[in-house]
Amino acid sequence: MLADGGEAIGDLAALRDQGEVFGPIASTPTAWRLLAAIDERVLNRLRSARAQAREVAWLQAYETRYGIPAAKAGGRELPGLVLDIDATLVPCHSEKEAAAPTYKGGFGFHPLVCFLANTGEALAGRLRPGNAGANTAADHITLLDDALAQIPDAHRHGTDILVRTDSAGSAKAFLTRVRDLRTRGIRTFFSVGYAVTEPIRHVIRALPEHVWHPALDQDGALRESAEVAEPTGMTDLAGYPAGTRIIVRRERPHPGAQLSLFDQDEGMRHQVFLTDTPITSGPAQFLEVRHRQHATVEDHIRCGKTTGFGRFPSRRFGVNAAWLELSLAAIDLLAWTRVLLLEGELATAEPKKLRYRLLHVGARITRGGRRLRLRISATWPWRHELAAAFHRLAALPRPASRPAVPAHLDKDLGEPDLAPGRHYAHRPTQPETVSLGCPPAPTETPRLSLCERSFRSQPAYRKGTSYPSVRALSPGLPWRGVEGLRRWLRWRHSDQLGMCERPTR
C-alpha cells in the first residue's frame, strides 16, 4: 500500500476493494491494533526480515542481471557501495508524542535516514523528536550500524563502503567510528561536509592562486568558474583519524545565492569537506565531485516522503516508528523492482512515474485452461515493459530453502557481526505463463501433459482426424507408484491406443 502511494492506514481500503488481486486484506481497526503492538523487539525482527529479503534480491541481481549497479560521479563509476546519510524534517501536529519545535521554526519530527546511492534502497532510518540535533554523533553511529547490518555479508566484508554526509556528520566521534570499522574487516571510508570556520577562512585566504585547479561537472567535463584546492598541510586536524584530508571548493555564486560576509568579501562561495580516501584513489577534483553527488540523497528523501514517511498517522511515537520502518520496506520494494525487472528509462524512474505507467494500469483478470491471465489494454503505451517485467519476475531464481536469520541480525541490532553468513543456493524455476493481452514471448510454447505428448508421437496421429479424447485416455490420478509406472509403460507401447481402457483404482 505504501509503495503504491498510500499515506494513511485507511488507504488499505484501496487494496481491500480488489480482493481478487490482493486476497484478504486486514480491516483498518486490525491494522491499527497490529501497529500498536509493535515494540522495539518486533522492530528488530522487521529489520531482520528486510535484511533477509535484501540478501535474496542481491543474489538474484547477480544471477540474472549485472549485479548491483555502481554509483557514478564525474563521469566515472565509483567502486563498492556508497551510503548517504541525511536528516529531514517532517511537520506534524503538536499533540503527537515526541513532536517538538524544529530549528526551522516548525513543529514535528526529525528522522535520520540512510540510503544506498547505488540502487536507491533505504537501508536504515531512525525516528527522532523535532528538536533532535542534526550533528549528534551517537545518532549517526547508531544509524550507520543499522545500515551496515542490512548489507549482506559478502558485500559488507571485502567491499569498499563510502559513507557520505553533510557537515552534520563531521563529528570526530562519528569519523573515528567509521575508521575503527576497518579493524573488524569492514572497509569503510568517509566523505563529510565541514563548516567554514574562522581558522578555515584564514587558510583559504593564505592559499596561493596556483594551487587552485578547475572543478569538474557530473559528466567529467570542466566546470566554469569553479576551482578546487587541498590545504591539508595548512590545517589543524588534530583529533581526526589519521590520513584525513581537507578539500576546499570555490565558485562564482549564482544570482540570488545566500552568501556569508566572508564569501561576499572574497566574491566566491566556498564549501569544505573532509575525506580519508587515499591520494592514490584520485585527484582532489574527482573527490570533490564525488562528494557533491551526495546531494542526490535529497531526491531519495523527497521520493521517500511520497512512499510513507511524509506523514505519520498516529499520536503514539512507537506506532510512528513502526510506520517509518514499513516505509523503508516500501522504498526497497520499488528499488528492487527497478533493479531486477525494469530496463531503460523505467530502470531509473521515480516512484511517481512507476505508479502511473506500471502500478496503476487498468486491467482485468480472466481464468481459463487452468491458467490465470491478466489482460491489459492493447493501446497502453507501456504494455510491453509491463509484460517483460512479469516474465522476468516469474523467471527469478528462488532460494532452495527458507533462509535463516543472518548471524549479525539474530540478536539486538547493534554492531554488525564479523562472522560470515549463510550462502543460499538458488535454483531456477519454471516461469508461469501469464497472458497480458499482448503477443507472447517467442519462446512460449503450449504445455502438454505427458499423455498428450505420448499420444501425439504415435504414427497414427494426424491433424484433422477425429480421435478419441486424449483427456479420456489420460491415466490421471490412478496411476501412481511403481505399479502405476508399469501400467503407463504398457499403455504407452500399446498398439491399440484408441482402445485403451482407463485403469481402475
* Confidence (pLDDT) at 332: 97
pLDDT in tens, 271-305: 999 999 998 888 999 999 999 999 999 999 999 99
| pLDDT for res 256 | 64
Per CATH, the number for 68-306 is 3.90.350.10
Q: Which residues of 231-251 are buried (b: 16+ CB within 10 A; e: fewer)?
A: bbeebeeeebbeebbbbbbbb
Q: Per-residue pLDDT for 217 more than 70? A: yes
Tens digits of residue pLDDT in 399-449: 765 555 555 555 444 444 544 443 333 333 333 334 444 444 444 444 444
Supply the pLDDT for residue 475: 41
Contact 101, 108 (CB under 8 A): no
Tell if the pTM clears 0.75, that is, is over it: yes
Degrees (nearest 5) of the Cα angle 472, 477, 482? 120
Rg (CA), the chain: 29
Q: Quick one: cell of 375?
A: 489482460
**Predicted confidence (pLDDT) at residue 111 exceeds the cutoff of 70:** yes
3-state secondary structure of 277: coil
In the chain, domain spans: 68-306, 347-395
Question: Cβ neighbours of residue 192 under 8 Å, at least 6 residues apart?
Answer: 163, 164, 165, 166, 167, 169, 170, 175, 273, 274, 275
Nearest CA to 410 out of 419, 400, 402 is that of 419
Please, what sign has the CA dihedral across residues 52, 44, 177, 130?
positive
Provide the pLDDT for residue 378. 87
Q: Name the DSSP letter for residue 381.
A: T
Range 352-358 average pLDDT: 94
Whether 150 and 174 have beta carbons less than 8 Å apart is answered as no
Q: For all residues of the chain together, what is the average pLDDT?
A: 82
Identify the pLDDT of residue 158: 86
Instruction: Please tell me the predicted confidence (pLDDT) of residue 401.
Output: 56
Residue whose cell numbers read 485416455 = 473
Spatial distance between the Cα atoms of 290 and 284, rounded to a whole number of angstroms: 10
